[in-house]
């Protein structure tokens, strides 16, 4: 599972949701998929950008 993990970046403030780590403060455990985040997910750092605004980091 973790080998497939991706990172998703807020285009506004640079916050990164790393699936391998989840986000402990927000209550998402390691391995929690970005796609599983609630529809109303808003960037935890800036609250300006919504889930659909996030960009997947290039795996390369």
Map the footprint of Zn ion across residues 20-59, applying CB under 5 A: 43, 45-46
Torsion sign over Cα 33, 39, 40, 46: positive
Q: Is 34 in the site for other proteins (CB under 8 A)?
A: no
Q: Is 47 in the site for other proteins (CB under 8 A)?
A: yes
Q: Is 10 in the site for Zn ion (CB under 5 A)?
A: yes
Q: Which does 44 bind (CB under 5 to 8 A by kind): other proteins, Zn ion, none?
A: other proteins
Q: Is 16 in the site for other proteins (CB under 8 A)?
A: no
Residue 58 to residue 19: CA distance in whole angstroms: 14
| CB-CB contact of 36 with 17 (8 Å) | no
């Amino acid at each position: 599972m973790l080998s497939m993990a991706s990172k998703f970046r807020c285009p506004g403030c640079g916050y990164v949701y790393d699936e391998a780590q989840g986000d402990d403060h927000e209550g998402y455990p390691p391995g929690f998929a970005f796609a599983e985040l609630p529809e109303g997910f808003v960037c935890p750092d800036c609250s300006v950008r919504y889930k659909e605004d996030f960009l997947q980091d290039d795996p390369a």
